[in-house]
Structure 1
Amino acid sequence: MHHLMLASTLIATATMASAQDRPVLTVYTYDSFVSGWGPGPQIEQAFEAECGCDLQFVGAGDGAALLSRLRLEGARTKADIVLGLDTNLMTAARDTGLFDPHGITAAFDMPVEWDDDTFLPFDWGYFAFVANADFDAPGDFRALGQSDTSIVIQDPRSSTPGLGLVMWVKSAYGDQAAEIWEGLSDNIVTVTPGWSEAYGLFLEGEADMVLSYTTSPAYHLIAEDDSGKKAVPMSEGHYMQVEVAAKLAGTDQAELADQFLEFMLTDAFQGVIPTTNWMYPAKTPADGLPDGFDTLITPETALLLDADKAAALRDQAIAEWQAALAR
């Protein structure tokens, strides 16, 4: 018995030593990415099988909260990679001086051209309001504001969908955006810090619609065999989101970080995205998109401000939203 105990102790000690010998790659991302149903666990397993490293995802709230955390930590950050910023945050992120170029040349399967040397896309989608399939939803923002439809949205200061919504209104209505928000203010049941909380409230019946993505109904159809949800087409068009990752300049695992960014564009990563992150992959995997994605709406008009224009309008767009909700 003592020999068995000693052998077990030696094996456990050797396993711990082996784990400690592996280099650690730390990736800051948003909470839903690292959840049990998100892409994080599958990606961690697949990358660790290739890298011989310890990949550690660190959830940092919702997407916009990532940038706030990085600004707070500055050069002291423990992150090697940040994954989950988007085009609305890229210029502000670049201005921190915390990121290094990636050096990767790749072609992407997205509706927009991409040639940024620092931020690398891993998925994309369109923002949309999601409702029950039998709900008679208004088809534009003015009609929505004039209706008694209740909505749950996310805070643009902490959430990338929330920021996407204010940029959606701003890009569609320009100088009339404040007027649109005045109309929408009494439709808003609550504003949550992130996407998960908002979607949960919608599923609990707390609102008629929730700000999410055109791809969200695919989750219910594929994962739950439930065709009872729909994304509502808006006549103004739908604002795009392109989610990106980037390497921190201060990383002490530069080669491993580069390896992860390269891995991010392989089928092993991209093939996981549609049915875990419920977005379109930046590079369509060899097997294509899963059945069910062909049922999703395709916006007639795609709206997207380039990174610099989005940065220039961001504060104004958020201020118009705040002013309307404060009344």
Structure 2
Amino acid sequence: MKNTTYLPAVAGLALCATGAIAETPVLQVMTYDSFTSEWGPGPAIEAAFEAECACDLQFVGAGDGAALLARLQLEGPRTDADIVLGLDTNLTAAARETGLFAPHGVTAALDLPVAWDDAEFLPFDWGYFAFVGNAGADAPTSLRALAESDTKIVIQDPRSSTPGLGLLMWVKTAYGDEAASLWSDLADNIVTVTPGWSEAYGMFLEGEADAVLSYTTSPAYHLIAEEDDSKVAWAFDEGHYMQVEVAGKVAGTDQPELADQFMAFMVSDAFQSVIPTTNWMYPAVIPAAGLPEGFETLMTPETSLLLSPEEAAAIRDAALDEWRTALSQ
């Protein structure tokens, strides 16, 4: 008798447990690969958000930053993503044109060096592009000086990488009609063009180039995580192009409340405190504890360059043609 009543009870408990697992809501965030890596922000942010949401937060890597837009344009309304995280202001105009994003509805006091009033795209970090090299090396002082030197560099493809696209905007903004000429002179400095940032930075660390296109904040990683002060960002006279990274809520999400919760969480201390020492960028909202020790040593550009999303979209194709032509010669 004991067995005949006990076994159905166990079976019932198992069915209840299975049902509970099946009912756990899933929020899918499409982002760039380095964000989801074990050393990136993804794991810590996933744990912190899941502690609040009673949900399953899933990060889905889609290559580098610019590849996010290409994938989204390909998938269209069929996308499974609820949030797209990792676009920047050079891509938001094109992203907006897809009609796939909804207003984020978040109001927050952002610590950005520029005013922000975009209803669809919410910043989560920012920084300045820079070439990072070894301390003590003979560093060029401008993009022009770099092109006239024998310095070997690794850069990223602007069609798949937001740093690569940022360099395109940097050159075009600083040199205007002379951008094509600068690219022609810079072409023989370029060891290779990689699909994304991780591959390029790895090549630099392995000694395959003198410098790599990265960020003014990149030396903070070596200083804080490795106690190594041998990497420096080069300051350039024409200024440095700024990147503001953003996330957007997909209008067709089947988890609208969870998506709203994540967007609000993105500017919370729990999210923002993770950014400086995992994504190695400036947080969009300074955490309560402030910036980590070591960030005060970073190079700060004297001149900041940034196009509006609409301006960046307007010159992107022409700038890409100049780049492609110069590197194919």
TM-score, structure 1 normalization: 0.96
1:49 aligns with: 51
1:265 to 264, 267, 270: 267
1:78 aligns with: 80
Alignment partner of 1:251 is 2:284: no
Report the Cα distance in structure 2 between the residues aligned to 1:155 and 1:13, rounded to whole angstroms: 50
Structure 1 stretch 44-53 or stretch 97-106: which is displaced more?
Answer: 97-106
Write the letter of the residue equivalent to 1:194. G
2:300 to 298, 304, 318: 298
Q: Alignment partner of 1:325: what SS?
A: helix
2:155 to 153, 157, 161: 153
2:136 to 134, 137, 158: 134
Write the letter of the residue equivalent to 1:200. G
Equivalences for residues 9-158 of structure 1 within 5 A: 16-158=18-160
Once the two structures are superposed, residues 61-86 of structure 1 have per-residue CA deviations (whole angstroms, 9 ceiling, x without a partner) of 00000000001000000000000000
Once the two structures are superposed, residues 86-135 of structure 1 have per-residue CA deviations (whole angstroms, 9 ceiling, x without a partner) of 00000000000010111122221011000100000000000000001121
Inter-CA distance 35–15: structure 2 relative to 1 (3 Å threshold): farther
Alignment partner of 1:178 is 2:176: no
Once the two structures are superposed, residues 266-290 of structure 1 have per-residue CA deviations (whole angstroms, 9 ceiling, x without a partner) of 0000000000000000000110000
Report the Cα distance in structure 2 between the residues aligned to 1:12 and 1:179, rounded to whole angstroms: 69
Seq. identity, %: 72
1:232 aligns with: 234
Inter-CA distance 8–146: structure 2 relative to 1 (3 Å threshold): farther
1:313 aligns with: 315
CA RMSD of aligned residues (A): 1.7
Q: CA deviation at 1:11?
A: 8.0
Report the Cα distance in structure 1 between the residues aligned to 2:297 and 2:58, rounded to whole angstroms: 35
Structure 1 stretch 204-213 or stretch 103-112: which is displaced more?
Answer: 103-112
Once the two structures are superposed, residues 31-73 of structure 1 have per-residue CA deviations (whole angstroms, 9 ceiling, x without a partner) of 0000000000000000000000000000000000000000100
Aligned length: 324
Inter-CA distance 11–270: structure 2 relative to 1 (3 Å threshold): farther
Report the Cα distance in structure 2 between the residues aligned to 1:208 and 1:12, rounded to whole angstroms: 60
Report the Cα distance in structure 1 between the residues aligned to 2:101 and 2:319, rounded to whole angstroms: 26
Which has more radius of gyration?
A: 2
Q: Alignment partner of 1:162: what SS?
A: helix
Gaps of 5+ in 2: none
TM-score, structure 2 normalization: 0.95
Write the letter of the residue equivalent to 2:318. Q
Once the two structures are superposed, residues 260-317 of structure 1 have per-residue CA deviations (whole angstroms, 9 ceiling, x without a partner) of 0000000000000000000000000110000000000000000000000000011111
Report the Cα distance in structure 2 between the residues aligned to 1:106 and 1:16, rounded to whole angstroms: 39
